[in-house]
Amino acid sequence: MDVLLRNGYDVNLSLLRQDQMQASASRLAGQELVRVGDESMTSAEYLNRQAQIEYRAKDFLRAQSSGIISKLRVNNVMDISDSNALNRGEFNINNLLGRNSGLDYHYSSSPTLTGDFAKYDFTYLGSRYSVNQEQRIDSVVNDHNALKEIKQKYGVDTSNAYLNGSLRGERYFQGINADPHSINMSFIDQSGYLENTKSSNLNSYASSSTLHTKYGDVEVFLDLYGDNDKLGIGKLTSNALLFNFDSNGDGILNSSDKLFSKLKVRGYDKDGNEKIANLSDVVSDIDLTKFINSDVVNWNQKRRDVINSESLANNDMRNFVDTTNIDHRISYYSSNPYTVFTPESRYKKAEADSIKSFFDAYADKDGWVDLRNNNVFNKNSLFNNFAYEKVGFDGKLKLSEFNPIIKSDAPRDKNFSYNGYQRDSFMKFYRDYEKESTAHAKDVEWLSKNLKEYNVENADEYISRLNGSKSSYMIAMENEFQKATRLEFSPENLEKVKRAFEANPNKAALMMSDSDSVIAMKLNDNGSITLKFDSGREIEVTELYSDTGKLLGDKTRRASLNLETKAMSDIELGSISFNNIGILDTDGKYKTLQEIGASAIKSFSTKHGKQFLIYLGDNKTLTAKDLYNISFLNNEFGGGIEVGERGQFYRKLDVRA
């Protein structure tokens, strides 16, 4: 191209020769002409477009980082950009598109916490359009003529990039009776009964952005690209966001979590110079329960009780909500932070005597316990929830929690099939993920091309990162996939589930997370339990587990049910680690096999399921009904060994002269 680099931008010389009068006038106004491809523009337009392209590249990367940090869900993602940028007024869709699209991008207030602890604030397209929850925001945007023109002119799906995650309108694997437009756990109540109040049960340490370590106070950030977060998009604005990196859901953030190695800390030395280190260099683990209040309150229920009490006292029933027939587990899951951890870390097996007592107390004359009449799960109940053992697509036994019961007056299609519902839900997910992935790839291709054409500084670096990026909606969908299938998301695992539905849809449907609710249970003569679901299906289980409402273990160690050992042979059992597999001892403590002096372990079967025979010294043995994974906690926040000045971190406000 016949160009001359002038004042930091390329000027097309042939164009200047063709119309020198226009060029002269442009130069007099400071508007030298530039050609990019077949398009000519003034230098000011060129520089503006160049800045927009660079900002857009950053925003794509920011979207990915934000999606990971916030652990976005399809049904509650709010914004694919940096919320701090919104507060600074930097995020404006009109500016990003480089022209007046006629769209107003409104954002009420940035949430202090995101993901599972979000206080939901939704994005609306204002002034010209009134968008409610029943409408898909992206469909409204796609119909907007001005945006269509931009998409046609530049050949890129701008709505995919910038409105990604804005109230897409549904979850893929929600309950069969759930409102498809709900925002919280697939349930919604306009009275606010189901507001997510988990964050209200977190303490001030969770709200802080400073983490206490034996080396001093530091700030944590995600170094996704290995450059110490050069773009400034990985900062964790609160310690509560650390919950989102507990990938195995055991309540401990450590090396067993897949992104632990990507977390770094930032602080300062005694002279005020910035110091950066790996999180693993300053803490070996983080006990996430340190961020949870000692007393967890169901704020939804408490607020509703106050409103109802005032309504009765004032004889004004306009705000009164009869909670008699509302499943208490709905507000429980909206309020209790411990429910973000895996069931295996919270549930204990219900003993045979306890199960018999339960059915004696609650069963009708036919032996059924009806869970729909709220006599089991209510605000004064001793029960939080139940779970049963289930095999997922990974072939491993996991606990499957009972879904809260949602009563629906909508008539179900006479041809409704639970297996068909599960299959259709997955296939819709499969198609939509493919579309989203394709759209994102096209956006990246367009961005990469323009980064080069507009000579954006560090274009190759941006392109390299963009080529491996994912949109926030892709990340949200991948999180949904993992929750529904118990498989880590990968293209291979996506195809694996698809093939399973094609080969045996009935079997595949049962390996998905339940989309129906247990409405009744019956204790059988052989000790097994029949579960009846609102989809019409029934299954028989041999074990029942009860939610403790807390994590298993104590301040020095954590425990979680190891159900995999139930499928092991004696040879396989002999090879398990005695250092981190253990039992619940008779004194109520979780101890490793090594601590109790075990020399060998075997299994045997009873009418109540598989149990374990553990050999000790002096020809002694003991039996255990369950084995547990045991994790030890460091507990060195703010204490521990003495650290010299050179290794110490200081807060910015505490910089020494």
When pLDDT is cut at 50, 70 and 90, the band that residue 246 belongs to is: very high
Predicted pLDDT of residue 326: 80
When pLDDT is cut at 50, 70 and 90, the band that residue 65 belongs to is: confident
DSSP run (H or E) holding 499: helix 491-503
Q: Is 603's pLDDT higher than 90?
A: yes
The predicted-structure confidence for 202-230, as pLDDT tens digits, reads as follows 999 999 999 999 899 999 999 999 999 98
Lowest mean pLDDT among 96-110, 220-234, 417-431: 96-110
The predicted-structure confidence for 548-593, as pLDDT tens digits, reads as follows 999 999 989 999 999 999 989 999 999 999 999 999 998 889 999 9
E-assigned strand segments in 227-333: 252-253, 263-268, 274-278, 286-287
Lowest mean pLDDT among 259-263, 450-454, 554-558, 617-621: 617-621
When pLDDT is cut at 50, 70 and 90, the band that residue 307 belongs to is: confident
Report which of 522, 576, 205, 187 is spatially closest to residue 366, judged by C-alpha positions. 522
DSSP run (H or E) holding 623: strand 621-624
Strands 274-278 and 263-268: antiparallel
For residues 216 and 267, is the Cβ–Cβ distance under 8 A? yes
Q: 328: exposed, middle or buried (C-beta count within 10 Å: 0-12, 13-18, 19+)?
A: buried
Lowest mean pLDDT among 179-188, 529-538, 581-590: 179-188
The predicted-structure confidence for 7-36, as pLDDT tens digits, reads as follows 333 434 344 344 444 444 444 445 678 888
How far is residue 423's CA from residue 512's CA, in Å, rounded to a whole number? 9
Residue 207's contacts (CB-CB under 8 Å, 6 or more residues apart) are 112, 113, 238, 239, 240
Give the residue, 72 or 532, on which the prediction is more confident.
532
Predicted pLDDT of residue 62: 84
How far is residue 581's CA from residue 578's CA, in Å, rounded to a whole number? 5
Predicted pLDDT of residue 301: 84
Give the residue, 59 or 514, on which the prediction is more confident.
514
Predicted pLDDT of residue 237: 87
- Report the sign of the C-alpha dihedral through residues 162, 482, 489, 436, in that order: negative
Region for residue 543 given its phi and psi (left: phi exceeds 0; alpha: psi -120 to 50; beta: otherwise) = beta
Residue 586's contacts (CB-CB under 8 Å, 6 or more residues apart) are none
Q: What is the mean pLDDT of residues 300-307?
A: 84
Give the residue, 319 or 264, on which the prediction is more confident.
264
When pLDDT is cut at 50, 70 and 90, the band that residue 624 belongs to is: very high
Predicted pLDDT of residue 176: 87
Q: Is 166's pLDDT higher than 60?
A: no
Q: What is the mean pLDDT of residues 98-126?
A: 30
Q: What is the mean pLDDT of residues 77-90?
A: 32
Q: What is the mean pLDDT of residues 418-441?
A: 93
- Report the sign of the C-alpha dihedral through residues 181, 182, 186, 187, in that order: negative
When pLDDT is cut at 50, 70 and 90, the band that residue 464 belongs to is: very high
For residues 80 and 67, is the Cβ–Cβ distance under 8 A? yes
Residue 581 phi/psi, 5-degree rounding, is -115, 135
Residue 270's contacts (CB-CB under 8 Å, 6 or more residues apart) are 645, 648, 650, 655, 656
Q: How many CB atoms sit inside 10 A of residue 535's CB?
A: 21
When pLDDT is cut at 50, 70 and 90, the band that residue 653 belongs to is: low
The predicted-structure confidence for 418-428, as pLDDT tens digits, reads as follows 999 999 999 99
Q: What is the mean pLDDT of residues 142-152?
A: 41
Percent share of the chain, pLDDT over 70: 75
Q: Is 347's pLDDT higher than 90?
A: yes
Predicted pLDDT of residue 425: 94
Lowest mean pLDDT among 172-176, 429-433, 587-591, 636-640: 636-640
Residue 85's contacts (CB-CB under 8 Å, 6 or more residues apart) are 62, 91
Q: How many CB atoms sit inside 10 A of residue 120's CB?
A: 15
Mean per-residue pLDDT over the chain, rounded: 77
Q: Is 156's pLDDT higher than 50?
A: no
The total number of residues written for the chain in this structure = 657
Predicted pLDDT of residue 431: 94
For residues 12 and 34, is the Cβ–Cβ distance under 8 A? yes
Predicted pLDDT of residue 86: 33
Q: How many CB atoms sit inside 10 A of residue 460's CB?
A: 11
Q: Is 167's pLDDT higher than 70?
A: no
Amino acid symbol at 553 = G
Give the residue, 365 or 119, on which the prediction is more confident.
365
Predicted pLDDT of residue 179: 59
How far is residue 330's CA from residue 179's CA, in Å, rounded to a whole number? 14
Predicted pLDDT of residue 646: 67
How far is residue 119's CA from residue 16's CA, in Å, rounded to a whole number? 56
When pLDDT is cut at 50, 70 and 90, the band that residue 121 belongs to is: very low
The predicted-structure confidence for 254-271, as pLDDT tens digits, reads as follows 999 999 999 999 999 888
